[in-house]
Amino acid sequence: MRVATGSDHAGFRLKGLLAERLAERGHEVVDLGTHSEDRVDYPDFGAAVGRAVAAGEADLGVCVCGSGIGIAMAANKVSGVRAAVVHDSVSAALARQHNDANVVCFGQRLIDDGIALGALDAFLDASFEGGRHVGRVAKLDAL
């Protein structure tokens, strides 16, 4: 699977750790930046990941900023993206199972590395349940 990653300076370190986990699991990582801890703006990188997923250039996306919130907002501006800020493995699995999230977002300042890795694994291992959730996801996509 191809997974696009992106972060601002405040998420750079955790993005690298998550990218390593993705590669360990056999996924192709498409790093859309940033490539250092020099100050940059999170909307640029959230949008880049969102565009890659929406265009089919990546199957899923992983975004990181200080809180996860701003970069998720940016990714969600791209039509076809359902980005979710997650805080643990439960929220990550539910994002996929109930919301068919295709981008997962983390806040480097708010989550422990081990919890983030577990959440990433849960996100990757989960799949959309369909059923009662199909109509709700369709409504999200229609917005």
Q: Would you say 30 and 3 are in contact if contact means Cβ atoms under 8 Å apart? A: yes
φ and ψ of 37, to 5 deg: -90, 15
Active site residue 87: no
Residue with tokens 């370190």: 13
Active-site position among 27, 98, 105, 133? 98
Pairing of strands 60-65, 83-85: unpaired
Active site residue 105: no
Active-site position among 65, 87, 105, 133? 65
Contacts of 132 (CB under 8 A, 6+ apart): none
Which active-site residues does the annotation give?
A: 65, 98
